[in-house]
Amino acid sequence: MFRFTVTATDGRARTGVLETPSGPVLTPVFMPVGTQGTVKGIDVHALAEIKSQILLANTYHLLLRPGPELVAKLGGLHGFAGWKGPWLTDSGGFQVMSLGHLRKITEEGVEFRNHLNGDLVFLSPERSIEVQEQLGADIIMAFDECPPYPASREYLERSLERTLRWLERSLKAKTRKDQALFGITQGGVELDLREKSTRETVKFDLPGYAIGGLAVGEPKEKMLPAVELSTRLLPEDRPRYLMGVGHPEDLVAAVALGVDMFDCVYPTRTGRFGYALTDEGRLNFNSARFKEDPRPIDETCDCLACRVHSRAYLTHLVRAGEMLGAVLLSLHNLRYLHRLTERMRRAIQAGRFAEFALAFAEKRFRGKTPAWFRYALKAGGHL
Amino acid sequence: MFRFTVTATDGRARTGVLETPSGPVLTPVFMPVGTQGTVKGIDVHALAEIKSQILLANTYHLLLRPGPELVAKLGGLHGFAGWKGPWLTDSGGFQVMSLGHLRKITEEGVEFRNHLNGDLVFLSPERSIEVQEQLGADIIMAFDECPPYPASREYLERSLERTLRWLERSLKAKTRKDQALFGITQGGVELDLREKSTRETVKFDLPGYAIGGLAVGEPKEKMLPAVELSTRLLPEDRPRYLMGVGHPEDLVAAVALGVDMFDCVYPTRTGRFGYALTDEGRLNFNSARFKEDPRPIDETCDCLACRVHSRAYLTHLVRAGEMLGAVLLSLHNLRYLHRLTERMRRAIQAGRFAEFALAFAEKRFRGKTPAWFRYALKAGGHL
């Protein structure tokens, strides 16, 4: 029901197939974020058309509204939201930290104020798993404590220890057999703590592992070595999920190091703000720059926005505040990241990942490839 | 290039085919409004899927932004907005009255403040036609003066006379041969004035006629007799377009009287506000009423929202303020009106319009069919 098979490797980069009860997922994969059970503005028909494979939903948001009992009653996320392919739910740990008001963290769990109505809500490993079982995703996440950046070594250490104890409690709380539970490593960018967290987490012999607590504000020069250490210590035969990462250049660098899965609100959020992702960087449709440009966002893209519309029209939509601008740019940006992973999969399978990554860097950084990107390629065995 | 053929009649109701340079339109037809060159939130692929046939765009809005020169440069509305099927543009007359600030109306035309930047803008029959030729719709409208309701007889009379003079100037200003210009009748709900306006307008022997100045706040008891008089006086062999009407019951009543074309922002606007159209009236997804309802909006509807989603999910989207709620409800509402016209076309072709309209009234009014609806059926020869 749940199995991961590496299908090709190139240096430390790899392609794989992740089998889930709702169908297979080809990795590397980018997972669109459907925070409240909907990828903002994009219907499930359009998601299928741009070849989304697996969606992510947030336990925190769905716990507060509409409530997990209702989602369960309507067939879990698959029935409730109408996306019949694979789902992944996070544990709520990250949102409790970033959104919860008046939160109080104890060994037992986290008490916080519902940001919608002020009610006191309690989330613990047991409660998080209970809610995730009701939501019914194919992949569920252990309840973790995600420290901010920067955080003291003492805090990072206490927090990673607690995350390990919470992982154990998450596993004990789990009752459904048709969901795979991933553990989450912590330790910030302190490499010895990251190593400790990873080695201890791996002992639980889980179907997959997430690298947590990164992409929270630390510089890339610190993030990439933490990713490098993580993928080195994680087992070859399990999927590796780098949480919250969605910038194109970060995807390429992390895939170089052997990461398989990604999620981020970035493509939809930046789309709503009027930006389109391309290999050359973001195009800003709030400006007048593309006002009369008859070309599509990207000649090579097969999304609806690129097949049908000009940059001039998109500029008009964004500047006129038309909802369709947000919809089309979100759609393009998701398709861009899906295509980026497709291109990486093909490159890995052809043994040409280095070539792909260097060509990508040439376009993206215009001859000024940053040291952290070259570091990732080198550490990944591509240079 | 432009031809209208009545294909069936049932009482005064009729079906027809309106041939345009961009393809045929089956009537009765509802035209989605793409005010700024986009039907709010709905992409052209989805519009084709719900079987939209012809879109309307607003000359006033596109004149101000992005400007008709740019639209022309990008291939007119067809190229600019990516909808390759038929388009209709209004003349800007209605918007100048309802949106323009500090407007000054003279025989020459209307001077008003651009609501975006405060610039003085001048719109006249000649300028409106020039702009509509640049926008390049298949059907363009004469520049008219649309009085508010209520208005004095004196004002209505002066205004309908001016509208006739402006129609003459509109026709003189027209240079393109591949666009059909429709005239617009006025006269409010004063039947003698409406008759005068219609008789004089018809003398111009135009490819189509719009019934203007209705649905501006007058009671239905006054609107329907004005429609009845209009369709009685308009030639059988030309399409009749009732401007700004989009409530389902109004469509049925007006089709009973021989109207062929409709447009209104109602289905998309009420969708953005969280309402779904059905034969039984509007469902309000802002309320908790359908919170746990696993049924689709409408079992008989084939739109994406009804095929895939439950009322419970739509309630969640609307209450959570998710953009997809507005998108899916707008899509459903447009499809609902398209299906309503499809059902009426089939009923007319089968000689069963009366049966259809009475069954519709039974559901819509639950045994309390208003007098104005029965009046329309009777005057249309269906009772």
- Summarised one tens digit per residue, pLDDT across range B17-41 is 999 999 999 999 999 999 999 999 9
Inside any domain, residue A373: no
Specify the pLDDT at position B93. 85
Closest alpha carbon within chain A to B44: A308
Which of A84, A268, A323, A331 would best serve as a mutation to test chain B binding (most B beta carbons within 10 A)?
A: A323
Which of B39, B63, B327, B330 would best serve as a mutation to test chain A binding (most A beta carbons within 10 A)?
A: B327
Residue A169, CB half-sphere, CA atoms under 13 Å: how many? 19
B98 or B27, which is more confident: B27
- Least confident segment among A61-65, B80-84, B113-117: B113-117
Four-point Cα dihedral B306, B309, B311, B312, nearest 10: 180
B170, B300: one domain = no
Inside any domain, residue A31: yes
B350-356 long-range Cβ contacts below 8 angstroms, 24+ apart: B351/B10, B352/B10, B353/B10, B353/B11, B353/B13, B353/B255, B353/B256, B353/B382, B354/B10, B354/B11, B354/B382, B354/B383
Residue B126 pLDDT exceeds 80: yes
Residue from the list B73, B313, B327 with its beta carbon closest to the beta carbon of A80: B313
- Are residues A383 and A264 in contact, defined by beta-carbon separation less than 8 angstroms? no
Encoding tokens for residue A247? Answer: 């910038």
Specify the pLDDT at position B161. 98
Interface membership of B72 toward A (CB under 8 Å): no
**What CA–CA distance (Å, rounded) separates A296 from B82?**
12
**What CA–CA distance (Å, rounded) separates B345 from A375?**
67
**What CA–CA distance (Å, rounded) separates A170 from A126?**
6
pTM comes to 0.97
Query: Of B239, B183, B220, which is closest to residue B27 (Cα–Cα)?
Result: B239
Q: Could you give the ipTM of this predicted complex?
A: 0.96
Nearest chain A Cα distance for residue B305, angstroms: 9
Specify the pLDDT at position B100. 65
B254, B277: one domain = no
Inside any domain, residue A58: yes
Interface contact flag, A65 B316, Cβ < 8 Å: yes
A306, A246: one domain = no
Interface list for B 42-71 with A (CB within 8 A): 42-45, 65-66, 70
**What CA–CA distance (Å, rounded) separates A19 from A85?**
11
Q: Which residues of chain A have pLDDT under 50?
A: none
B62, B35: one domain = yes
3-state secondary structure of B58: coil
On chain A, the residues whose CB falls within 8 A of the CB of B322 are: 36, 38, 40
Interface membership of A37 toward B (CB under 8 Å): yes
Inside any domain, residue B368: no
Q: Residue B101 forms beta bridges with which residues? A: B113
On chain A, the residues whose CB falls within 8 A of the CB of B329 are: none
- Are residues A327 and B327 in contact, defined by beta-carbon separation less than 8 angstroms? yes
Interface contact flag, A292 B70, Cβ < 8 Å: yes
Residues whose CB is less than 8 angstroms from the CB of residue A308 and which lie 6 or more positions away in sequence, other chains included: B43, B44, B45, B82
Encoding tokens for residue B18? Answer: 């309106």
Q: Which of B205, B230, B264 is the last residue of a domain?
A: B264
Specify the pLDDT at position A116. 85
B120, B245: one domain = yes
Alpha helical stretches, state H, B65-175: 68-73, 76-81, 93-99, 125-135, 153-173
Nearest chain A Cα distance for residue B314, angstroms: 9
Inside any domain, residue A364: no
Inside any domain, residue B54: yes
On chain A, the residues whose CB falls within 8 A of the CB of B43 are: 304, 308, 324, 327-328
Q: Which residues of A301-323 are buried (b: 16+ CB within 10 A; e: fewer)?
A: bebbbbebbbbbbbbbbbbbebb
A179, A310: one domain = no
A228, A199: one domain = yes
3-state secondary structure of A177: coil
Interface contact flag, A310 B80, Cβ < 8 Å: yes
CATH code: domain of residue A96: 3.20.20.105
Could you list the residue range(s) of the whole structural domain that residue B299 is in? 271-351
Query: Of B10, B25, B12, which is closest to residue B207 (Cα–Cα)?
Result: B25
For chain B, how many helices (H) and strands (E)?
Answer: 16, 16
B236, B325: one domain = no
B22, B141: one domain = yes
Encoding tokens for residue B10? Answer: 């049932």
**What CA–CA distance (Å, rounded) separates A58 from B352?**
52
Encoding tokens for residue A274? Answer: 């009027």
A37, A154: one domain = yes
**What CA–CA distance (Å, rounded) separates A23 from A35?**
21
Interface contact flag, A327 B37, Cβ < 8 Å: no
Query: Of B138, B53, B90, which is closest to residue B335 (Cα–Cα)?
Result: B53
Specify the pLDDT at position A266. 98
B291, B240: one domain = no
Q: At what angle are helices B248-256 and B353-365 packed, to 10 degrees? A: 150
Pairing of strands A55-57, A29-31: unpaired
Residue B114 pLDDT exceeds 90: no
Residue from the list B38, B309, B315 with its beta carbon closest to the beta carbon of A322: B38
On chain B, the residues whose CB falls within 8 A of the CB of A308 are: 43-45, 82
Inside any domain, residue A198: yes
Residue B255 pLDDT exceeds 70: yes
> Annotated active-site positions of A, please?
90, 263
Residue from the list A70, A304, A316 with its beta carbon closest to the beta carbon of B292: A70
What is the count of residue pairs from A and B with beta carbons less than 8 Å apart?
107
B247, B284: one domain = no
On chain B, the residues whose CB falls within 8 A of the CB of A310 are: 74, 80
Encoding tokens for residue A115? Answer: 């940001």
Interface membership of B327 toward A (CB under 8 Å): yes
On chain B, the residues whose CB falls within 8 A of the CB of A309 are: 82
Q: What is each CA distance from A52 to A49, A87, A350, B370, in whole angstroms?
A: 8, 11, 23, 50
Interface contact flag, B322 A81, Cβ < 8 Å: no
pLDDT tens for B294-336 read 999 999 999 999 999 999 999 999 999 999 999 999 999 999 9
Q: Which residues of A120-143 are buried (b: 16+ CB within 10 A; e: fewer)?
A: ebebbbbbbbbbbbbbbbbbbbbb
Structural domains counted in chain A? 2
Q: At what angle are helices B323-349 and A323-349 packed, to 10 degrees? A: 110
- Are residues B208 and B243 in contact, defined by beta-carbon separation less than 8 angstroms? no
pLDDT tens for A174-199 read 999 999 999 999 999 999 999 999 99
Interface contact flag, A327 B41, Cβ < 8 Å: yes
Exposed/middle/buried for residue A333 (C-beta within 10 Å: 0-12, 13-18, 19+) = buried
- Are residues A13 and A349 in contact, defined by beta-carbon separation less than 8 angstroms? no
Inside any domain, residue B370: no
**Average pLDDT of chain B, as a whole number:** 96
pLDDT tens for B224-236 read 999 999 999 999 9
